[in-house]
């Protein structure tokens, strides 16, 4: 019998975590082989590797402990990849040479698959004098554009794009430009943005006091703190960014406050890290631990939970020694502090199995109880490891125990740490687990509520045909096994029906016993008024959260899909034939219709000629191939590469309009050019504009910057809330994008914007 609870789980394993040879031949014949590979690799640093291999395998078995995807995919493969998920890069120097050295380090890190965070507050504001060159500074936003362009060119390990977090202090003189930066839809698309909010700023907001914007001891100007707060709130209300990080609270709580200062987080926010900080992730699957689900005595055995946590902590500590690192500074930082991030997934499903409504007082209390139990077990396990293998090198008992986090810890744990030390400086974190949760049988993700209890997924076959499969939430699947088609009880609530404050209360309950932070999205209804929306952030502050991320569907951010549990039909496109999504490229006909365009780039000696040929599929004209030619031999290599890559994408069919948007967003640090009264940031952006003109001319897209003229059939039954148009997945084309834990995630293929 298969270990997988659903076909999608097997597909995720095969695509992302199964070890394969370079030619695609599977090395892991079975899921058990993958578990054994990981267990063996993490046990090899032990004095008794075989004994610990068996214990590690038992923890992995049946998806009880879920190491992060990089560990599942990379451990035991012998490949030069990092097993760490999260990095914050070094402090950016306020000099041209230092800035571009940091850019190089970022590229090397993302090349190995690491998501990175940066604090851009250290770069002088726009317009400041630059000594020795008789010029004014261009400011941090201009350099963020360079980072963004770099990130577009880097494919992370496992074919996942790099993800970046940019932070800026609330007192930086360019903070208002930072807040508004992503309101330009073509700018900083590879970044998540968060404002570092300080305690004095929050006090100034509450007291309606003035707020100074300063850099390097100089005050540039002042403004009312509430005006700046409202600007942050309005931007996230309308554009879902920037997020808010309560940075002083993070530093006061930090166990390592005596040894480091934090000014940035990883891309999803669950890991506040110091310069060159790195952290690996893993999750206890609470949904798999509930005994007697939906019975009056349903619950989790405390002894079983403690034993699993202890094993997981040992496995993750071994990853510190087993992993490679992109940079030596990251390896040194990891070895000095041995930071790990054990979290949970399947929380909402576990609550459902116990008959508890997500966000209720009972659910909040149970969540806090489970998180405290995990924290206690984690710290005591790390103390035992310190007895056996030694404390982390920078451990100092009294300053460590004086941190805000450790002051709330139970006395027996504090006494054990004081006596024996501790192996890992920080131990707990709640990370995004979207893909991992699908792999584990579609359990609810992290501490999020269930997004949808069931939806239909269309799967493309080799011959181009489609099959349909139902993807059912893990708890609902168990309910069906037990009670058949009986109606779900009232306590089965979803992310779309919960009040925002229910989300906040659950985040705060979990945060109390998490020493790092939590990746969580607070879903807000589209019609929430602005003042109520602002109260969500103030409540998150008042309840002790370390940050806050919301998502409100609208015409800019895209719609949330309300999945029908009982729908038998799929909405049809309003006009025209459907777009064909192909698993294999079409053969090229003998003759194609097309058009050739002349592009004269103002700073180039020769014109570029762009030919776009089209094919007709199901009565609809769509692009099939592109040819780019120029007499300028300096253009030869990249135009040939671009021709081949764009043509390969076009020949797969579907919604290929994203190619235009990617090209139009390319920024050339040497400068762009003015064309027909409009600034074009690069020659590649100009090529994208030409292709866009062609797609409009043939009726493939509605207009400049707009989507398909005739939408493809969706992969699930859905209705759109409000007037916002749903967005398709850039990887598979399915209309299954949902915002989970700060990441736009495709439920059809597992693609995630955050990597």
Task: Look at 495 and 718; give whichever has higher pLDDT.
Answer: 495
Q: What is the dihedral of CA 740, 745, 746, 752, to 10 degrees?
A: -160
Q: Is 634 a catalytic residue?
A: no
Query: Can you give the pLDDT at residue 730?
Result: 57
Identify the weakest region by mean pLDDT among 97-111, 202-216, 301-315, 524-538.
Answer: 97-111
- Any idea what DSSP says for residue 443? P
Give the phi and the psi of residue 525 in degrees, each rounded to 5: -65, 155
Query: Can you give the pLDDT at residue 720?
Result: 39
pLDDT for residue 555 is more than 90: no
The whole-number average pLDDT for the span 567-593 is: 48
**Which tokens is 532 given?**
């109520």
Q: How wide is the angle at C-alpha 352 spanned by C-alphas 351 and 355, nearest 5°?
A: 90
Query: Can you give the pLDDT at residue 728?
Result: 60
Say if CB 259 and CB 251 are below 8 A apart.
no
Ranges 116-125, 181-190, 519-528, 746-755, most confident: 116-125
pLDDT for residue 158 is more than 50: no
Q: What is the pLDDT of residues 414-430, one digit of tens each?
A: 999 999 999 999 999 99
Q: Is 662 a catalytic residue?
A: no
Nearest Cα neighbor of 353 from 488, 222, 471 is: 488
The Cα 741–Cα 432 span in angstroms is 6
pLDDT for residue 564 is more than 70: no
- Any idea what DSSP says for residue 423? S
The whole-number average pLDDT for the span 192-212 is: 97
By residue range, what is the domain housing residue 649?
Answer: 593-697
pLDDT confidence bin for 556, thresholds 50/70/90: low
Q: How wide is the angle at C-alpha 261 spanned by C-alphas 259 and 267, nearest 5°?
A: 125
In the predicted model, what is the mean pLDDT of the chain? 86
The whole-number average pLDDT for the span 533-540 is: 96
Nearest Cα neighbor of 229 from 551, 533, 508 is: 533
Question: Which secondary-structure segment (H or E) carries 540?
Answer: helix 530-542
Say how many CA atoms lie within 13 Å of 308 toward its Cβ: 28
Query: Can you give the pLDDT at residue 742?
Result: 61
**Alpha helix segments (H runs only) across 163-295:** 175-180, 199-207, 225-239, 247-253
Say if CB 143 and CB 97 are below 8 A apart.
no
**Which tokens is 318 given?**
């071994």
Nearest Cα neighbor of 432 from 59, 755, 733, 65 is: 755
The Cα 147–Cα 191 span in angstroms is 9
- First-last CA distance in the chain: 32
Q: How wide is the angle at C-alpha 648 spanned by C-alphas 645 and 650, nearest 5°?
A: 110
Ranges 254-258, 646-650, 697-701, most confident: 254-258
Q: Is residue 99 a part of any domain in this protein? A: yes
**Which tokens is 692 given?**
């866009």
Ranges 237-251, 604-618, 698-712, most confident: 237-251
Q: Is residue 75 a part of any domain in this protein? A: no
pLDDT for residue 344 is more than 70: yes
Report the number of distinct structural domains present in the chain: 2
* Number of neighbours of residue 39 by Cβ within 10 angstroms: 24
In sequence order, the 6+-apart residues with CB closer than 8 A to the CB of 512 are: 368, 371, 372, 408, 544
Question: Which secondary-structure segment (H or E) carries 688?
Answer: helix 683-697
Q: What is the pLDDT of residues 107-151, one digit of tens each?
A: 888 877 678 999 999 999 999 988 777 678 999 999 999 998 888
pLDDT confidence bin for 411, thresholds 50/70/90: very high
Q: Is residue 691 a part of any domain in this protein? A: yes
Query: Can you give the pLDDT at residue 699?
Result: 84
pLDDT confidence bin for 212, thresholds 50/70/90: very high
Query: Can you give the pLDDT at residue 495?
Result: 87
Query: Can you give the pLDDT at residue 131?
Result: 78
Query: Can you give the pLDDT at residue 560?
Result: 44
The Cα 289–Cα 372 span in angstroms is 16
Q: Which of 86, 151, 170, 268 is catalytic?
A: 268
Query: Can you give the pLDDT at residue 454?
Result: 87
pLDDT confidence bin for 752, thresholds 50/70/90: low
The Cα 87–Cα 98 span in angstroms is 19
Nearest Cα neighbor of 223 from 249, 204, 239 is: 204
pLDDT for residue 750 is more than 80: no
**Which tokens is 246 given?**
């309560």
| CA distances from residue 188 to 12, 175, 725, 755 in whole angstroms, order as listed | 29, 15, 22, 16
pLDDT confidence bin for 682, thresholds 50/70/90: confident
Query: Can you give the pLDDT at residue 732?
Result: 55
Q: Is residue 110 a part of any domain in this protein? A: yes
- Pairing assessment for the beta strands 210-215 and 218-224 based on DSSP bridges: antiparallel
| CA distances from residue 56 to 50, 189, 565 in whole angstroms, order as listed | 10, 39, 38
Alpha carbon 226 to its chain centroid, in Å, reads: 30
Q: Is residue 680 a part of any domain in this protein? A: yes
Query: Can you give the pLDDT at residue 312?
Result: 98
- Mind giving me the DSSP string for 105-173? HHHHHHHTT-EEEEEGGGSPPTT-EETTTTEE---HHHHHHHHHHHHHHPEETTTEE--EEEEEETTST
pLDDT confidence bin for 714, thresholds 50/70/90: very low
- Pairing assessment for the beta strands 86-88 and 278-285 based on DSSP bridges: antiparallel
Q: Is residue 242 a part of any domain in this protein? A: yes
Q: Which of 270, 333, 692, 741 is catalytic?
A: 270
Q: Which of 192, 254, 266, 285 is catalytic?
A: 266
In sequence order, the 6+-apart residues with CB closer than 8 A to the CB of 95 are: none
Chosen domain end from 667, 697, 727:
697
Q: What is the pLDDT of residues 632-666, one digit of tens each?
A: 777 788 888 888 888 888 887 777 888 888 888 88
Q: Is 270 a catalytic residue?
A: yes
Say if CB 561 and CB 582 are below 8 A apart.
no
Identify the weakest region by mean pLDDT among 335-344, 375-384, 672-681.
Answer: 672-681
pTM above 0.85, yes or no: no
* Number of neighbours of residue 299 by Cβ within 10 angstroms: 16
Q: What is the pLDDT of residues 54-72, one digit of tens each?
A: 999 999 999 999 999 999 9
High-pLDDT (> 70) share of the chain, %: 85
Q: What is the pLDDT of residues 129-141, one digit of tens each?
A: 887 776 789 999 9
Query: Can you give the pLDDT at residue 301?
Result: 98
The Cα 82–Cα 110 span in angstroms is 10
pLDDT for residue 567 is more than 70: no
Query: Can you give the pLDDT at residue 120?
Result: 97
Query: Can you give the pLDDT at residue 368?
Result: 98
pLDDT for residue 725 is more than 80: no
CB-count burial class (<10 Å; 0-12, 13-18, 19+) for 607: middle
Q: Is residue 542 a part of any domain in this protein? A: no
Q: How many residues does the chain have?
A: 755
Query: Can you give the pLDDT at residue 733?
Result: 55
Identify the weakest region by mean pLDDT among 298-307, 418-427, 691-700.
Answer: 691-700
Chosen domain end from 680, 697, 714:
697
pLDDT for residue 159 is more than 50: no
Query: Can you give the pLDDT at residue 672?
Result: 80
Q: What is the pLDDT of residues 455-501, one digit of tens each?
A: 877 665 555 566 777 889 999 999 999 999 889 999 999 887 899 99
**Structure-token match 């380090």, residue found:** 105
Q: Is residue 11 a part of any domain in this protein? A: no
Give the phi and the psi of residue 342 in degrees, each rounded to 5: -85, 130
The Cα 331–Cα 277 span in angstroms is 9
In sequence order, the 6+-apart residues with CB closer than 8 A to the CB of 269 are: 165, 192, 194, 243, 245, 517, 518, 519, 547, 549, 742
The whole-number average pLDDT for the span 32-53 is: 96
């Amino acid at each position: 019998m298969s270990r997988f609870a659903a076909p999608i789980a097997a597909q995720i394993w095969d695509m992302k975590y199964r070890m394969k040879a370079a030619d695609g031949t599977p090395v892991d014949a079975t899921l058990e082989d993958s578990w054994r590979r990981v267990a063996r690799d993490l046990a090899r640093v032990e004095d008794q590797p075989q004994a610990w291999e068996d214990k590690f395998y038992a923890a992995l078995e049946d998806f009880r402990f879920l190491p992060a995807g990089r560990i599942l995919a990379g451990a035991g493969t012998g490949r030069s990849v990092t097993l760490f998920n999260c990095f914050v890069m070094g402090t950016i120097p306020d000099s041209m040479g230092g800035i571009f050295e940091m850019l190089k380090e970022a590229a090397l890190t993302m090349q190995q698959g690491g998501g990175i965070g940066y604090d851009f507050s250290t770069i002088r504001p726009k317009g400041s004098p630059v000594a020795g060159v008789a010029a004014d500074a261009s400011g941090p936003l201009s350099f963020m554009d360079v980072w963004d362009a770099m990130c577009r060119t880097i494919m992370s390990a496992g074919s996942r794009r790099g993800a970046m977090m940019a932070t800026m202090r609330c007192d930086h003189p360019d903070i208002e430009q930072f807040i508004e930066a992503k309101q330009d839809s073509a700018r900083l698309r590879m970044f998540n943005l968060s404002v570092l909010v300080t305690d004095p700023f929050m006090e100034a907001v509450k007291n309606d006091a003035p707020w100074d914007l300063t850099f390097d001891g100089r005050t540039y100007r002042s403004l009312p703190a509430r005006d700046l707060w409202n600007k942050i709130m309005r931007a996230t209300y309308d554009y879902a960014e920037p997020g808010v990080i309560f940075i002083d609270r993070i530093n006061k709580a930090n166990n390592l406050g005596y040894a480091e200062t934090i000014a940035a987080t990883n891309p999803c926010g669950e890991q506040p890290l110091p310069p060159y900080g790195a952290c690996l992730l893993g999750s206890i699957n609470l949904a798999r631990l509930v005994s007697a689900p939906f019975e009056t005595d349903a619950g989790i055995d405390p002894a079983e939970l403690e034993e699993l946590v202890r094993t997981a902590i040992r496995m993750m500590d071994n990853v510190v020694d087993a992993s490679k690192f992109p940079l030596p500074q990251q390896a040194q930082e990891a070895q000095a502090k041995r930071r790990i991030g054990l979290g949970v997934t399947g929380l909402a499903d576990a609550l459902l199995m116990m008959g508890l409504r997500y966000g209720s007082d009972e659910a909040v209390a149970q969540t806090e109880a489970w998180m405290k139990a995990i924290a206690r077990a984690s710290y005591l396990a790390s103390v035992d490891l310190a007895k056996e293998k030694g404390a982390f090198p920078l451990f100092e008992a009294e300053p460590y125990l004086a941190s805000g986090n450790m002051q709330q810890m139970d006395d027996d744990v504090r006494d054990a740490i004081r006596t024996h030390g501790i192996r890992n400086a920080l131990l707990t974190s709640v990370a995004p687990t979207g893909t991992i949760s699908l792999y584990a049988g579609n359990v609810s993700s992290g501490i999020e509520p269930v997004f949808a209890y069931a939806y239909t997924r269309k799967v493309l076959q080799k011959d181009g045909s489609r099959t349909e499969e139902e993807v059912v939430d893990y708890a609902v699947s168990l309910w069906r096994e037990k009670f058949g088609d009986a109606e779900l009880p009232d306590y089965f609530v979803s992310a779309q029906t919960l009040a925002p404050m229910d989300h906040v209360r659950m985040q705060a309950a979990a945060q109390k016993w998490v020493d790092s932070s939590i990746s969580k999205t607070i879903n807000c209804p589209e019609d929430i008024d602005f003042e109520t929306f602002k109260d969500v952030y103030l409540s998150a502050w008042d309840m002790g959260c370390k940050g806050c991320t919301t998502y409100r569907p609208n015409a800019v951010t895209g719609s949330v899909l309300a999945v029908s549990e009982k729908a038998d039909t799929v909405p049809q496109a309003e006009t025209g034939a459907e777009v064909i999504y192909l698993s294999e490229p079409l053969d090229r006909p003998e003759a194609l219709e097309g058009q050739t365009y002349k592009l004269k780039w103002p700073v180039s000696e020769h014109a570029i000629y762009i030919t776009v040929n089209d094919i007709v599929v199901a009565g609809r004209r769509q692009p099939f191939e592109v040819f780019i030619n120029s007499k300028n031999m300096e253009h030869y290599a990249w135009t040939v590469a671009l021709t081949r890559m764009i043509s390969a994408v076009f020949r797969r069919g579907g919604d290929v309009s994203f190619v235009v948007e990617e090209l139009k967003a390319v920024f050339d640090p040497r400068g762009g050019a003015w064309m027909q009264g409009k600034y074009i940031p690069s020659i590649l952006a100009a090529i994208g504009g030409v292709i866009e003109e062609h797609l409009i001319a043939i009726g493939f897209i509605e207009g400049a910057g707009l989507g398909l003229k005739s939408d493809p059939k969706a992969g699930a039954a859905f209705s759109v809330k409000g007037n916002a148009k749903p967005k398709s997945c850039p990887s598979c084309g399915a209309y299954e994008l949902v915002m989970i834990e700060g990441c736009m995630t495709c439920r059809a293929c597992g693609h995630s914007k955050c990597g």
